[in-house]
Structure 1
Amino acid sequence: MTPFASRRIAFALLAPLALAACATSGPPLAGAATAALDIPEVADGTLSEETMVEVTRRLSSDAFEGRMPGTEGEEKTVDYLIERFRAAGLEPGNRGSWVQEVPLVEITGRDFAPLTIAGGGTGLSFEYGTDWVGVTYREEGETRLEGSELVFVGYGINAPEKGWNDYAGVDMTGKTAVILINDPDFDNATLEGPFGGKAMTYYGRWTYKYEEAARQGAAGAIIIHDTAPAAYGWNVVESSWSGPQAYAQRGENAPPLTKVNGWVQNAVGARILEAAGHSLSEMSQKAKQRGFRPVPLGLTASTGFANDIRTFASRNVIGVLPGSERPDEYVMHTAHWDHLGRCTPAPDGDDICNGAVDNATGTAALVALAEAHRKAGPAERSLVFLAVTAEESGLLGADYYAANPVFPLSQTVGGINMDAFLMAGPSRDVVVVGPGKSQLDRFLDAGLGENGRVATPNPNPEAGYYYRSDHFAFAKRGVPMLYVKGGEDLIDGGKAAGAAAQLDYRQNRYHGPQDEFDESWDWSGVMQDLQLFYRIGRAMATSTSWPNWTEGDEFRGIRDEQCAAAGTGC
């Protein structure tokens, strides 16, 4: 996944609600820990730009068809990664195997009926794709939503610890929730507010909103899209929510599911509320206030579509460099190899979402880092390189690994997640997603100090990026993870140029066929960031310390319990 959005997520894999209450920003970057840490000095690694170019070019070629899990593109991807991991000097990471199977189900909707809204003296009809998109998580051949009563539930949040319940006093059984994106204080100028101010909490993520609607017994959940609080445009929603959708296979006693989860364009949401005698802007303001109560709209929603269903096993690819002194202590490196496969065509007819930046670059980084660590010789701790599947489907591969770890989480020191290297050139800084959350910030500061760069907190905490990539699957289970992006204060052009590069990618290439490899790319900034990741990983693998989450962080208690219960490791 890139910083801007992920796709669907299986309810069975969602983080507990207790984890949702914390914002994405934290205390200052420096001094994240008061306890002394062993942070060894690390020499630069021998990193190959040629490897980065070659692997990225290959994985994002049309021959790999966008690397969709469960396709021929996956077969080619997994085979190629095993080849490169072996050539880099890694050993198979899963008890003699290079792969870990991840059981998935793929549901492909087709023959979509319009979304029709009845009642209030008017009838509205909205076309699939241009006006609305929707999917089902249920493994059923046909989905039908018939005359389901619409209830506006504000931000769709039920947070007892905050005294906030957007579902108070309403029985949602069989009804459809109409929900706003993000959380109530997202437009605050500061990080002050019941939901972290401008920093999105997990309550603001669409994944949570669908999960809560299902817990309330709703038959459907419809989110009103808005580009600013969502942090991505409708084009991203349309491309990400159309075509085959992969989910984790559900086991026994799985959480409840709605029939339909979907999105509508902002203008469509406004028309629906107008038909009920309300204003979207006025209702949005009311939903921001503590004590808001759900509003039955006096309207019903209907739609339907057929589903093609198949079950299959996708694969995580795992390689390891065993440690020389403490091989049963592990430092994790993660990146997702998958992308969207075939998607909404570009104007020229190209329908392959190649995912060159997102995330062929991060996958290539696993190979380049493995090569460099191998050349440097064994570290004291083992170094793990994990290429996960189905990130674009909701972090499914990472979440499956974290729930079924090959290497015990209590013996996993921490890790680094790499997702989408932009070709913007070298920078004076790096952007930290979730700053101040763990003592790994100290390792980051040390690595940055060796070449004079600085850490910048995520400039858009309202987008909830901390919950959008594979590190979250480990974090919510207690393992400290760093998520660091390329800097925005560019050597050539400063912050304005950095912001322009981010905007250009987000608007013109992200999750679209235009995210293709370019032979003219400038790799200097990528190699600068990769050297930083090498130093951090090497320091963690050489250190004797077990970095923890900062006191008061939402994941600290989980890690403390994990360590207390472990006979070895942390």
Structure 2
Amino acid sequence: MRFLLATSVAVAAMIATAAAAQDFSAQRLSDEIRVISADDFQGRKPGTEGEEKTLAFLQAQYEAMGLQPGGPDGQWRQRIELRRYTPVQGAAALSLTGADGQAYPLVLGTDAIVRAATNDGRADVSDAPLVFAGFGVTAPERGWDDYGDVDVRGKVVVVVEGEPDGDLFNGAYTTHYQSAGYKADEAFRRGAVGLVILAGERGWARARGGADQQRILTPGAADLEFIATLDEAGKARLAQAAGVDPARLTGGQDGRFKAFELTGATLTARQSETIDTLVTHNLLARIEGSRRPDEVIVYSAHWDQIGVGGEHAGGEDTIFNGAWDNASGTIGVLEMARELSKAPRPERTIVFAHMAAEEMGLLGAYAYVADPVYPLETTVADINIDMLPLSGPTRDVPIFGKGQNTLEDDLDALARAEGRYVSDDGQPQQGFYYRSDHFPFARAGVPALMPWHGVDFVGGGKEAGWAAWRERFGRVYHQPSDEWSADWDLTSAVENLTLLYRLGLNLANGDEWPTWKPTSEFGQVRARSEAARSSR
């Protein structure tokens, strides 16, 4: 049963009850953001002294509140081992054999790139059959299935980058189906040994630029032998080897495409990469539920930033203090815990998760989802805070991924009782939905919510709001200039935290399970664990 409130009277009553238990302090938010964004925290880079200082500060705060450790085995910290892969010089090889038995060479770095995608850092595939799967998308909620009935077990799947055009795939706001990560997951789930991506100009430039660079394997990523990228010349060579018109190697736009075998053509791939490990930590605290402690609401934020120096540092100041991104969100979660700890003990467990290595690719959150402390099937929701709004009061409460799940409806009901409203983020070109720690939860099927910076200012409207946003984002985002300031206006931060407090407390004292909306790509993932919730 949904918990959207039927009348404004009921909304007001619930808000009055919740509000009595909390009082977010703008001054305390400011003071604590100042602490962990100071120069002596050295930009909070994972694996450094800055990490240790940050986690020690957070743990001390939670201990003072009387909260319990929320990590594995009764610990505060969840150890995260991030494996970094660097290609061995001269180890890569990629070649095609045609149906005619002839070799069709692919020139690495010129028309093809290959990286080992396996956990052992080695790819070794000989004469594997090939299947062309269009965009490589299976989206039952959209009536779309590129794979059809084709069997790809033991084969290499060839896909086109991106996703179909048009409103069916969210128009200007892209879906997860466009990502290489999704395409690899789906191919691996179906038993493929490798993935070949046919890239356009921009995709090829990205792949070529990272061909020899160290990369960190995303925890829980598909354990394919390899992922290769081909440019237009490589695509033409593939079509020649398979004896097909290159025009057939494009993604369908009307939903009628079905995968087909590139009969007789095979691919051989080799790659070897050295591995080293970076150790970092998530930190978790919890308030254990009184009646259903195994049902969990997560508040999350990443504690890390870039650190000191690096290619983005210019001038004399080389410390990326990360006051806005994301000392503000880190302290937002800490203060959420402080206020919720004053309320009567909730029926469900509430976890406060400080994620590592978000700036490296959401890696702490991915690691948590790959090895969750609390089962994902009975995780009610993730409420993520990344960069608290820094402005006067706003009418809007933008969220990333509007239209994805029913948490936004719950938040909108609470916001409208305050004369506010939920909106989208207004910046589809940024792809924000895939860029913060809520996303690994969503990808794993857990309903997740990520509120953002309002731009509909009570004083000045959207014109003033967008101007202020663009100025701040352009000036400080991922720059050493992202430093604490005593003149920050945290009014909107307090407003948003108050709404998120009420949302989380309602979930923690209710029996509802937020759901994905019918057009969300994540509903099919959540549905796989439905039995774990319907039996309750």
Give TM-score scaled by structure 2 length: 0.71
1:165 has 2:142 as partner = no
Out of 452, 463, 469, the position equivalent to 1:485 is 452
Q: Distance in 1 between matches of 2:467 and 2:267?
A: 43
State which of 253, 256, 259 in structure 2 corresponds to 1:288: 253
Please state if 1:107 is matched with 2:87.
Answer: no
2:164 to 181, 184, 187: 184
CA contact (8 A) 2:398 2:452 kept: yes
Q: Does 1:561 align with 2:526?
A: no
Instruction: Tell me which of 367, 388, 398 is aligned to 2:355.
Output: 388
Equivalences, count: 508
Match of 1:78, SS state, is helix
1:203 and 2:174 are equivalent in the alignment: no
The 2-side partners of 1:226 and 1:56 are apart by: 42
Shift of 1:424: 5.3
| Runs of 5+ consecutive residues of structure 2 not aligned to the other structure | 97-102, 241-245
Give the number of the structure whose alpha-carbon radius of gyration is greater: 2
Given the alignment, which residue of 495, 513, 525 partners 2:492?
525
Q: Could you report, residue by residue, the CA deviation over 1:507-528 in whole angstroms, capped at 9, with x for unpaired residues?
A: 6765x44573242544333233
| 1:534-545 equivalences in 2 (<5 Å) | 534-541=501-508, 543-545=509-511
Partner residue in 2 for 1:48: 25
- 1:61-140 correspondence to structure 2 within 5 Å: 61=38, 63-94=40-71, 97-109=74-86, 126=109, 136-140=116-120
SS of aligned partner of 2:383? strand
Contact 2:384 2:448 in 1 (8 A): yes
Structure 1 pair 347–318 and aligned structure 2 pair: CA distance change class (3 A): closer
For the pair 1:421 / 2:388, whether they are aligned, the reply is: yes
Q: 2:119, 2:223 within 8 Å by CA — same for their partners in 1?
A: no
Give the distance between the partners of 2:30 and 2:200, measured in 1 at CA.
37
Q: Which stretch of structure 1 is more off in the superposition, 489-498 or 365-374?
A: 489-498
Instruction: Among all aligned residue pairs of Structure 1 and Structure 2, give the percentage whose two residues are the same amino acid.
Output: 28
Residues 114 and 125 in structure 1, CA contact (< 8 A), matched pair in contact too: no
Which amino acid letter does the alignment assign opposite residue 92 of structure 1? P
Contact 1:431 1:487 in 2 (8 A): yes
Moved more, 112-121 or 467-476: 112-121
- Cα deviation, residue 498, structure 1: 4.3
Question: Superposition RMSD on alpha carbons, in Å?
Answer: 5.3
Contact 1:444 1:536 in 2 (8 A): yes
For residues 313-339 of structure 1, the C-alpha deviation after alignment (integer angstroms, 9 at most, x for no partner) is x43212223567776764431222234
Shift of 1:416: 1.8
Distance apart, 1:365 and its partner CA: 0.8
Q: Once the two structures are superposed, what CA deviation does each residue of 1:134-183 show, in whole Å capped at 9, x if it has no partner? A: 854334567799999999865343558845327998989786846323x1
Q: Structure 1's 116 and 365: CA in aligned 2 closer, same or farther, altered over 3 A?
A: same
Rounded to whole Å, the distance in 2 between the matches of 1:481 and 1:117 is 40
Q: Which has the higher contact order (CA 8 A, sep 6+)?
A: 1
Q: Secondary structure at the match of 2:499?
A: helix
Aligned partner of 2:277 in structure 1 is 310
3-state SS in 2 of match to 1:484: coil
Indicate how the Cα distance of structure 1 residues 508 and 158 shifts in structure 2: closer, same or farther if over 3 A, else same. farther
| Residues 159, 515 of structure 1: alpha-carbon distance in 2 compared, 3 angstrom cutoff | farther
1:454–1:259 distance in 2 versus 1, CA, 3 Å: same
Rounded to whole Å, the distance in 2 between the matches of 1:65 and 1:505 is: 22
Contact 2:318 2:480 in 1 (8 A): no
Aligned ranges for residues 289-438 of structure 1 at < 5 Å? 289=254, 290-291=256-257, 306-310=273-277, 312=279, 314-322=280-288, 330-340=296-306, 345-346=311-312, 348=314, 355-374=322-341, 376-381=342-347, 382-392=349-359, 395-402=362-369, 405-407=372-374, 412-423=379-390, 425-435=392-402, 438=405
Could you say if the C-alpha distance between residues 451 and 203 of structure 1 is closer, same or farther in structure 2, counting changes exceeding 3 Å? same
Letter in 2 for 1:211: D
Distance 1:410 1:221 in 2: 32
Cα distance, 1:523–1:114 mapped onto 2, change above 3 Å = farther
- Flag the 1:150–1:558 CA change in 2: closer, same or farther, 3 A: closer
SS at match of 2:333: helix
Contact 1:415 1:482 in 2 (8 A): yes
Secondary structure of the 1:421 match is coil
TM-score, length-scaled by structure 1:
0.67
User: What one-letter code is carried by the residue in structure 2 that aligns with 1:201?
Assistant: T
